[in-house]
Amino acid sequence: MSENKPLTKNSTSDETGEAASEDARQASNKSGEPLSAEPRISWDVGTAYDLFFSLYVLHLPEKFGLRASWAAGVRSRLNAEDRKVLATAQKLFYVPLCWIYSLPEPKDAETALWALRQIPAGERLQELSFCDLAPEKIQSFLNNIAERGVWEDQDLEALRKIYREKGKEKPRPKELADTLDAWANAAEFGEHYLSALQAYYNAFYAEEQRRIGPAIQKGLQSAKDLAERLPLIELIEELSHGIRFEEPLDKPEIIFVPSFWIQPLIYFSLVSQHAMLIVFGFRPEDMSVVPGEQVPDSILLGLKALSDPTRLRILRYLNRENLSPADLARRLRLRAPTVTHHLRSLRLAGLVHMTVGKEHESRYTARLETIEELCTRINVFLASVDEE
């Protein structure tokens, strides 16, 4: 299943093995000259981030190695109208990182819902979709639709052209129409979205927040401890489970945020001209996204990744040399999307290193230490006492 990235998002694309995020690329040092000083590291934390990330994961469970049936079961706790509104929101802005970052303490789900209630219904979509760095052309186009309260066929074609100019995957006409419908009825959408988000909180996330809150705090402390002894490039590699940038991130400030639900991925967002937000996945070994799951996620994802013969062949190639997806496609005689799919599975299991080069090309090597750690975790699990 392909995903069409929202044009209006103030959060950025995630890194799932096939490409680095667009904002990370834009933030890299284009000149090739060394930076005058390493960026200042700061921290942010709050369960409001996972309020939105959990919805993102629940709508794209296969991207995170989760059972689609379980995700559908959680979504089914909501009525059909709320499910439709939340699904549409994933296409419009999915995780509004800039907006979440601007929330007051303690940045939990209750704070996010309270802050949304303070925004007039007709302005909620704009607040969640745009940050100060959003392209003016896109803001003007969609705000014009909102002011008119209606859209026409030429607007759909114009939106399709914007996707094309941005290099985005062309959405289906129905998805374009859903986007235009939401903006043409911004006040109605804003009201329904707040109601649906409140329903999701009541039906699932209130309890989930209590479960994952201590783990998120643990992830924050763990990252701070690593930052005391690792330079920034190694810190990012450690927190991202294997991503390294050949060029430094040319921003004066890097803000790290732990997330329970996106383990082991990382997400980037430019929150100002001078600061980049990096949300990193952290989940304790004894916890799973699925409450009550007895087998750790890392074991399930690792075994799934290693059970496919093509992925084993990829790891064998990557154990010998550093290769790009295009290199692997030629050697395996497979289509590029197929190779990307396999690399995503290996990335989710933490079995590959990914290096983002100066020309933004991603190259991979096998992460053999993770394979050894996986074997150790399996042995520990098999020797553990069943608590049932």
Say whether the peptide bond before residue 106 is cis (omega within 30 degrees of 0): yes
3-state SS, residue 8: coil
Average of per-residue pLDDT across 247-252? 83
pLDDT of residue 10: 52
pLDDT for residue 2 is more than 50: no
pTM over 0.85: yes
d(CA 329, CA 332): 5
pLDDT for residue 360 is more than 90: no
pLDDT of residue 164: 83
Q: What value does the mean pLDDT of the chain take? A: 88
pLDDT of residue 8: 57
Average of per-residue pLDDT across 271-298? 91
pLDDT for residue 98 is more than 60: yes
Average of per-residue pLDDT across 149-160? 94
Residue with tokens 């914007």: 162
The beta strands (E) that lie in the chain are given as: 14-15, 40-43, 243-245, 253-259, 266-270, 275-281, 352-356, 362-366
Mind listing the pLDDT tens digit for each residue in 103-125? 999 999 999 999 999 999 999 99
Residue with tokens 């859209």: 151
Say whether the peptide bond before residue 264 is cis (omega within 30 degrees of 0): yes
Average of per-residue pLDDT across 313-339? 95
Average of per-residue pLDDT across 254-280? 94
3-state SS, residue 283: coil
Share of the chain above pLDDT 90, in %: 70
Kindly list the distances between the CA atom of residue 295 and the CA atoms of 61, 71, 203, 292, in Å, as whole numbers in the listed order: 18, 17, 25, 9
Contact 211, 286 (CB under 8 A): no
Q: Minimum mean pLDDT among 47-51, 201-205, 362-366: which range? A: 362-366
Mind listing the pLDDT tens digit for each residue in 16-60? 433 333 444 444 444 344 445 789 999 999 999 999 999 999 999
- Which amino acid makes up residue 117? R
Average of per-residue pLDDT across 70-98? 95
Name all domains of the chain by residue range, CATH numbers in brackets.
14-281 (no CATH), 297-383 (1.10.10.10)
d(CA 59, CA 167): 23
pLDDT of residue 301: 92
pLDDT of residue 167: 67
* Residue 122 phi, psi dihedral angles, 5° rounding: -70, -10
pLDDT of residue 229: 96
pLDDT of residue 114: 98
Find the helix packing angle between 80-92 and 48-59, rounded to 10°: 100
pLDDT of residue 3: 39
pLDDT for residue 294 is more than 70: yes
- Pick 292 or 152 by higher pLDDT: 152
Contact 362, 18 (CB under 8 A): yes
Residues ≥6 apart with Cβ < 8 Å to 259: 49, 50, 53, 216, 219, 267, 279, 280, 281, 282
Contact 281, 56 (CB under 8 A): no
* Residue 266 phi, psi dihedral angles, 5° rounding: -130, 150
What's 56's DSSP letter?
H
Contact 267, 11 (CB under 8 A): yes
Average of per-residue pLDDT across 290-313? 91
Share of the chain above pLDDT 70, in %: 87
Residues ≥6 apart with Cβ < 8 Å to 338: 329
Residue 94, sorted as left (phi over 0), alpha (psi -120 to 50) or beta, turns out to be left
